[in-house]
Amino acid sequence: MALITSAASGNFDAGATWVGGIVPGVGDEALASNGHTITITADVTCTELSNAGTGIYTLNSGVTLTANVTAKSTTINRNIVQFTAASPAVGFIVGNVTGATVSSNTGAVNNTSSGTLTITGNVTGGSGSTAFGCQNASTGTLTITGNVTGGSGSTAFGCQNASTGTLTITGNATGGSGGTAYGCNNNSTGTLTITGNATGGSANQAYGCNNNSTGTLAITGNATGGSGGQAFGCQNASTGTITITGIATGGTTNGAAGANNASSGTLNVGRAKGNDFGIGSTALVAGFGVTSAQASITKVKEIEYGLRGMSPTSGPTYLEPLLTNVAILVNYPSGSGSKTLSDPNNTAGLSPAATDVRTGVVYNNGVNTGTCAVPAAASVGFGVPVDATTGTAALTPASVWAYASRTITGGTVDTLTNAPTVPSAATIASQVRTELGTELGRIDAAVSSRLAPSGTLAVVTTLANAPTVPSAATIASQVRSELSVELGRVDAAITTRATPANIPAADITAIKAKTDALVTDRLAQCSTVATTGAQLAAALS
């Protein structure tokens, strides 16, 4: 790898900025010499950026630096890369970041304003005292996608959120090998979020992460104590708030709790778990999952004793009232199993519904009572699954009849539940005889009596739907009219009645000829009208 040092302050991509006029590229280490400020105004790719003395790089907004950043200066309070742009400015570094090897009291990379700086790579504290890997110094946002680890120097944090800004880490935070070399430190009122695990380091008080003031620290993952004395996975040092979603587990050395609430702040933990200290453990000291001061507010949702019975908590601890409350205890001897106790109110998921438990059975520590009615096998069809067996009821015609007639006496059906009243045979026979006698009497009666109306019909006065009947006066008047017409015809001359207009004249002539030919002497012997009338009168007198 070729080392190319700066010749003067200027733009990174200008040849005049570098010794020999060669702009550093892939495979090169670019070193900012003492007193030089090199501005990165366009995307840059090289193997490494370093500095000497007061040499420094300024990253402009919208620019991506693809290179490892290593602080090599021995000058105190001097960064190697600074991002000074205000919000909404953004800058990008793709590569690993490492703090200085000497006491520098500064960071290799520093976000000094309100802009957003994103680092994609691992960040490690240096070997010098307070040699930070990176720092969010003001109100801006520093985002790291990678692991953050404390260095070997004292207080050589992997990264620090120094003010009211936001530090977000997607990766693990681990304490270093130097005393108080935290993986990350939230030093003021800002917000630190870790999506990953926090683990204490190998040195004394080398916390995985530290919430030093009134700020907020959230860990989406586990917090585990380290191998150093009191190397907590995380610590809440003041009045701030820490929330751990996962499990806080004690470390391998004395006092290395998974999480420690040291003052009057608030600590929320998903589960507290003791380490493996106990009978049979070697080279191991007690390690609580959670420790807390008297004035603190420490809450856990679940507790779990260690493999050999180590307690999960030390100090005042509250059980957060949630439905996930469980307690896991171990059996003796160690490793032979465990017992899980759950909140009896946690019916969702851990306890069956009351409708799935036999009626009257009390379960879930007396909280619930079953309501499921289970019929006896004898009441269920043969072979049908019921309870822990199958039904035995054989539904044959004979069994159905036997059930329907279970009140039979002496084998004769004499009573049926809900049956109507049934008349006796003698009553039925008597009624039949009575009805037959009546009908036979009707047959023997005279036909006229059977045809004539009776009762209310003896005199017909009204017929439903009958036509209108004329009165007697109307009938008499009509009869007189008709008789007058007919009598008038009787009194008319014979010729007028014998010669209707529809008889041909020839026929009348022919008839006259025949009548003229009659023998008159016989007619003389006939009675006259007068004679006949006299005879009728005599007969009627």
Q: What is the mean pLDDT of the chain?
A: 85
Residues 6+ apart with CB under 8 A from 165: 111, 114, 136, 137, 138, 139, 140, 141, 142, 190, 191
Contact call for residues 169 and 149 (beta carbons, < 8 A): no
The pLDDT, as a whole number, for residue 203 is: 96
Residue 256 has pLDDT above 70, yes or no: yes
According to the model, what pLDDT value does residue 383 have?
83
Q: How far apart are CA 270 and CA 291, in angstroms?
A: 14
The Cβ-side half-sphere exposure at 85, using a 13 Å CA radius, reads 19
**Single-letter amino acid, residue 87:** S
What is the signed CA dihedral for 353, 355, 358, 362, rounded to 10 degrees? Answer: 50
Amino acid occupying residue 432? V
Query: β-strand 338-342 against 326-330: which pairing, if any?
Result: antiparallel
Asked if the model's pLDDT at residue 51 lies above 90, the reply is yes
Give the per-residue pLDDT at 412. 47
pLDDT per residue as tens digits for the range 421-463 = 667 778 877 877 787 777 666 665 554 555 555 544 445 455 4
Task: Fill in the amino acid letter for 350.
Answer: L
Provide the token pair at 341: 């106790």
Tell me: pLDDT of 373 over 70: yes
Name the residue with higher pLDDT: 447 or 225.
225
Of 109-113, 416-420, 532-536, the least confident = 416-420
Report percent pLDDT > 70 for the chain. 78
Cis ω on the peptide bond leading into residue 423 (within 30° of 0)?
A: no
3-state secondary structure of 154: coil
pLDDT of residue 541: 57
Tell me the backbone φ, ψ of residue 120, rounded to 5 degrees.
Answer: -110, 100
Burial of 468 (0-12, 13-18, 19+ CB in 10 A): exposed
Q: Is the pLDDT of residue 216 over 90?
A: yes
Enter the tokens of residue 195: 């999506």
**Per-domain residue ranges of the chain:** 1-220, 222-343, 355-386
For residue 259, what are its two tokens?
């999480």
- Which pLDDT band holds residue 320 (cuts at 50, 70, 90)? confident
CA–CA gap between residue 207 and residue 198 (Å, rounded): 8
Q: What is the pLDDT of residue 416?
A: 47
Q: Is the model's pLDDT at 165 over the cut of 70?
A: yes
Selected residue with higher pLDDT from 32 and 319: 32
Between 508 and 245, the higher pLDDT residue: 245
Residue 503 has pLDDT above 80, yes or no: no
pLDDT of residue 242: 98
pLDDT at 245 over 60: yes
Mean pLDDT of the 385-403 span: 76
Task: In whole angstroms, give the CA distance from residue 393 to residue 416.
Answer: 23
User: Pick from 91, 83, 92: which is nearest to 120 by CA?
Assistant: 92
The confidence score (pLDDT) of residue 476 equals 74
Give the separation between CA 472 and CA 455, rounded to whole angstroms: 27
User: Using CB atoms within 10 A of its CB, is residue 498 exposed (0-12), middle (13-18) or buried (19+)?
Assistant: exposed
pLDDT at 46 over 70: yes
Q: Which of 176, 179, 178, 188 is nearest to 150 (CA)?
A: 176
Residue 378, burial from CB neighbour count under 10 angstroms (0-12, 13-18, 19+): exposed
The residue with greater pLDDT, 500 or 393, is 393
CB atoms closer than 10 angstroms to residue 47: 17
Q: How far apart are CA 218 and CA 319, in angstroms?
A: 19
Beta strand segments in 105-174, E: 106-111, 116-120, 123-124, 131-136, 141-145, 148-149, 159-161, 166-170, 173-174
Mean pLDDT, to the nearest integer, of 71-81?
91
Tell me the C-alpha distance between 26 and 24, whole Å.
7
> 3-state class of 279 per DSSP?
coil
pLDDT of 85 = 97
The more confidently predicted of residues 222 and 520 is 222
More confident of the two residues 494 and 226: 226
pLDDT higher than threshold 80 for residue 488: no
Question: Phi-psi bin for 142: left (phi > 0), alpha (psi -120 to 50), beta?
Answer: beta
Q: Is the pLDDT of residue 97 over 70?
A: yes
Could you tell me the two tokens for 94? 């793709």
Write down the pLDDT at residue 444.
58
Q: Is the pLDDT of residue 506 over 90?
A: no
pTM above 0.75, yes or no: no
Residue type, position 145, single letter: T
User: Could you give the angle at the alpha carbon of 125 between the alpha carbons of 143 and 245, nearest 5°?
Assistant: 50
Give the pLDDT confidence of 103-144 residue by residue, as tens digits: 877 889 999 999 999 999 999 999 999 999 999 999 999 999
- Residue in 309, 296, 305, 347 with CA at minimum distance from that of residue 328: 305
The pLDDT score that the predictor gives to residue 434 is: 81
Q: What is the pLDDT of residue 518?
A: 60
- Higher pLDDT: 488 or 77? It is 77
Contacts of 91 (CB under 8 A, 6+ apart): 59, 60, 61, 62, 63, 64, 65, 83, 85, 115, 116, 117, 118
Q: Give 180-202 pLDDT, tens digit per residue.
A: 999 999 999 999 999 999 999 99
Nearest to 277 by CA among 288, 266, 269, 285: 285
Average pLDDT over residues 259-285: 93
Q: Is 82 helix (H, G, I), strand (E, B) or coil?
A: strand
The pLDDT score that the predictor gives to residue 460 is 46
pLDDT the model gives residue 428: 78
Residues 6+ apart with CB under 8 A from 484: none
What does the pLDDT read at residue 418?
A: 52
- Residues 215, 220, 222: CA angle, nearest 5 degrees: 105
- Nearest in space to 263 (alpha carbons), one of 296, 220, 308, 215: 296
CA 437 to chain centre: 81
